[in-house]
């Protein structure tokens, strides 16, 4: 019997995937804590001289352009080369693409390098597909529904999965569209939730790579895990500070049955 998307969590916790995070400096600690709580292992290895070698031994790689430098751009390029050579799935998080020219040019130059998944907000996805100008910094000004065409274009162009985060999440691959209702508004009031979701997506893709779970379902499962944890944390906290702590606890505590009971998934 084929595994469902929910079984992805079991593989994450059994396999403890090693995730190489080339990510922004604001969220490194948050991202590491999210991965550890979920059952993965983080590594913040982004130097150009080591990133390709590390990508070859990692289970998943995150490329997040949140606070880039010239050195990190080079490290990201090397990590992508190392990941592709080794067959390691890598995730692209195009933070603020469209609104800032240098990072937009960089991301446009790597999007055709076979990311297993692209994860962003609606405005980032629309801009990356060439259908809009981007949002306000890291904040989306487009609705998730408005990003459907862009997500489909990117999925066809890359052959990977495209995930759009918002009030409800949209997961798109070449022949499939899935909507996910989960999470809590408080997720927007603590740093690093979106960026950490990119890392969690890389963990899920890496943990399920040798299983019959599709990349689409692995990406869906990562989003459902964080969304369910966000809902569970909201039951324990009433303000952003306590919510940030409760979220880490919830990522650790949530199980398959809890995810199934807290989120709503439907196919378009």
Give dist(CA 54, CA 90) in Å, integer.
12
Find out whether 102 and 55 touch, Cβ atoms under 8 Å: no
The pLDDT score that the predictor gives to residue 1 is: 41
**pLDDT for 112-163, tens place per residue?**
999 999 999 999 999 999 987 655 555 556 899 999 999 999 999 999 999 9
Contact 62, 90 (CB under 8 A): yes
CA 98 to chain centre: 19
pLDDT of 68-111, one tens digit each? 999 999 999 999 999 999 999 999 999 999 888 899 999 999 99
Looking at residue 141, its pLDDT comes to 67
pLDDT at 42 over 60: yes
- The pLDDT, as a whole number, for residue 134 is 59
Q: Which two tokens stand for residue 74?
A: 């080079």
Numbered residues of the known binding site: 44, 119, 165, 192
8 A C-beta contact, residue 161 and residue 116: yes
Separation CA 64–CA 80 (nearest Å): 12
Sorted by where each begins, the domain ranges of the chain are 5-267
Going by the annotation, the residues of the binding site for substrate are 44, 192
Phi-psi region of 72 (alpha: psi -120 to 50; beta: other; left: phi over 0): alpha
Q: Return binding residues for ATP.
A: 119, 165
CATH superfamily to which 5-267 belongs: Ribokinase (3.40.1190.20)
pTM attached to this predicted model: 0.96
């Amino acid at each position: 019997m084929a595994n469902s998307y929910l079984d992805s969590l079991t593989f994450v916790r059994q396999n403890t995937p090693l995730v190489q995070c080339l990510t922004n400096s604001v969220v490194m600690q948050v991202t590491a804590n999210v991965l550890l709580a979920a059952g993965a292992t983080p590594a913040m290895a982004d130097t150009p001289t080591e990133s390709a070698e590390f990508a070859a031994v990692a289970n998943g790689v995150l490329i997040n352009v949140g606070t880039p430098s010239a050195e990190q751009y080079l490290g990201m390029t090397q990590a992508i080369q190392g990941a592709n050579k080794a067959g390691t799935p890598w995730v692209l998080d195009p933070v603020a693409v469209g609104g800032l020219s240098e990072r937009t040019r960089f991301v446009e130059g790597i999007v055709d390098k076979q990311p297993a998944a692209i994860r962003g907000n609606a405005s980032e996805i629309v801009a990356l597909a060439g259908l809009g100008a981007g949002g306000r910094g890291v904040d989306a000004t487009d609705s998730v529904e408005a990003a459907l065409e862009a997500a489909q274009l990117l999925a066809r162009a890359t052959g990977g999965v495209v995930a759009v985060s918002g009030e409800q999440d949209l997961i798109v691959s070449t022949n499939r569209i899935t909507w996910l209702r989960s999470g809590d508004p408080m997720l927007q009031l603590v740093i690093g939730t979106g960026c950490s979701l990119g890392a969690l997506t890389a963990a899920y893709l890496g943990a399920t790579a040798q299983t019959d779970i599709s990349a689409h379902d692995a990406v869906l499962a990562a989003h459902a895990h964080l969304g369910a944890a966000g809902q569970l944390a909201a039951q324990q906290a009433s303000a952003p500070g306590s919510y940030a702590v409760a979220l880490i606890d919830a990522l650790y505590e949530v199980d398959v049955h809890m995810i199934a009971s807290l989120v709503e998934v439907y196919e378009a």
